[in-house]
Amino acid sequence: LQDNNNPFKSGFISIIGRPNVGKSTFLNRVVGQKIAIMSDKPQTTRNKVQGVVTTDHSQLIFIDTPGIHKPKHKLGDFMVKSARNTLKEVDVIMFMVNANEPIGGGDRFIIDMLEKTETPVFLVINKIDLVHPDDLLTIITSYTEEYNFAEIVPLSALNGNNVERLMETLTNYLPEGPKYYPDDQVTDHPERFIISELIREKVLHLTREEIPHSIAVVIEKIDREEERNIVNVMATIVVDRDSQKGIIIGKKGALLKEIGTRARRDIEMLLGSKVFLELWVKVQKDWRNKPGQLREFGFRE
Ligand code: GDP
Ligand code: MG
Ligand code: K
C-alpha cells in the first residue's frame, strides 16, 4: 500500500565501536535472532554481518562492522581499510560506546577515522543500565568535545531501554527507498559463514586466553544428502602455533570432541537437518600476516 505522505524509507547503517561495547547485543535485539555471534572476548565478529529490520514504513539494514582498533598486524590493516570503505557507503554511522567507561584511545582512533566522512554519525551510549544518570552527562560531554555528532542516544542494548527511540531516529535519517530484502530475510550471509562462526564461537568459549580471537575456521565442504536429510560438514580450525593445536584438541581429543558436539547442535538448528561434523585442526604459522592467505580464508576488500 503506497502512502505518498509517508513514503517507504530504507537504508544502510554501520555499527562501529571498539570491541565489547555491545554491537552484537544490539543487533541481536533489533533483529531478534542470533546472527551476530556474541562473545566476551573482543572481536568475535570479523566479517560484516547484516541484520535487516523491516516495518510497514521502513527497512533498516545494519552492518556490524568488525571492531575497529589500532592495527597491530596485517589483519588489522585489512579490517580498518574495509571499515573505512563501509563508512563512506552507508546512510548513517552508529558509533557505539560504553556508558560505564571513560573515552579511551580506541574511541579516539575511531573518531579520527570519522573526521573524513560526511555520513551523519550517531553517538550511541550503550549500557546505561550500569551507570547513574548523573554520570551520564560527564560521559556525553567527553565525547561531544571531540566530535560534532548528528544525534546522541543513550540506551541499553541488554534490557532494550530507549532502543525503540533510536530506531525511530535512525529512520528519520534514511532516504526514501526500496525494500531491498523480502520481509522474512534477516541476514544475507551464506550458511557457510554462519557455520564457521558457530564453530569459532565454541572454540573461544571452551578455551581460555591461550587461544586468540584471530583463529580462523575454514569450511572445506558442505554436502547435503537429500534423501536422508543429512548434511555433512567438514571444517578446519586454523591456528598459528603447535601449542594452540594441542590445547584445542585436548586430552585424548576430549576438547575437540566437545567443540564438535556443541557446534553440531547449533548447525542442526540452523539447517533444520541432521548434521555430521568433521573437525580438523591445522597449524599455519603467521597466517594473519599473509594477504594471500587472508583471501583464502574468506576476507575480501
Ligand atoms: P561487541 O564486541 O561490541 O559486539 O559486544 P557484545 O555485543 O559481544 O557485548 C559485549 C558484552 O557486553 C557482553 O557480555 C554483553 O552481554 C554486554 N552488554 C552488551 N550490551 C549491554 C548493556 O546494555 N548493558 C550491559 N550491562 N551489558 C551489555
Ligand atoms: Mg560483536
Ligand atoms: K565481542
43-78 pLDDT tens trace: 333 445 457 788 889 989 887 665 465 555 555 666
Residue 1 lies in a domain: no
> Is the reported ipTM for this assembly greater than 0.95?
yes
- The reply, when asked if residue 103 is annotated as ligand binding, is no
Residue 47 lies in a domain: yes
**Average pLDDT value for residue range 212-231:** 81
Cα distances (Å, whole numbers) of residue 236 to 49, 69, 202, 283: 21, 27, 13, 10
Same domain, 250 and 167: no
Cα distances (Å, whole numbers) of residue 69 to 78, 125, 149, 186, 200: 11, 18, 20, 27, 21
Q: How far is CA 95 from the centre of its chain?
A: 14
Provide the pLDDT confidence category of residue 223 given band limits of 50, 70 and 90: confident
pLDDT tens-place string over residues 117-148: 889 999 999 999 999 988 999 999 999 999 99
Same domain, 168 and 197: no
Same domain, 53 and 168: yes
Residue 184 lies in a domain: no
Centre a 10 Å sphere on the Cβ of residue 55 and count the other Cβ atoms it contains: 12
Residue among 48, 125, 158 to mutate when testing ligand 1 (max atoms within 8 A of CB): 158
Residue 40 lies in a domain: yes
Q: What pLDDT score does 148 carry?
A: 95
Q: Is 15 in the pocket of ligand 1 (CB under 6 A)?
A: no
Residue ranges making up the domain that contains 254: 191-296
pLDDT tens-place string over residues 77-123: 666 666 777 787 789 999 999 999 989 888 888 898 888 788 999 99
Cell of 269: 538448528
Provide the pLDDT confidence category of residue 290 given band limits of 50, 70 and 90: low
**What's the CATH code of the domain at 81?**
3.40.50.300
Q: What pLDDT score does 289 carry?
A: 54
Q: What is the DSSP string of 137-176?
A: HHHHHHHHTT---SEEEE--TTT-TTHHHHHHHHHHTSPB
Q: What pLDDT score does 7 carry?
A: 86
Same domain, 203 and 252: yes
- How far does residue 299's CA lie from ligand 1's centre (Å)? 25
Number of domains into which the chain is organized: 2
Alpha-carbon torsion, ordered 72, 97, 121, 89, to 10 deg: 40
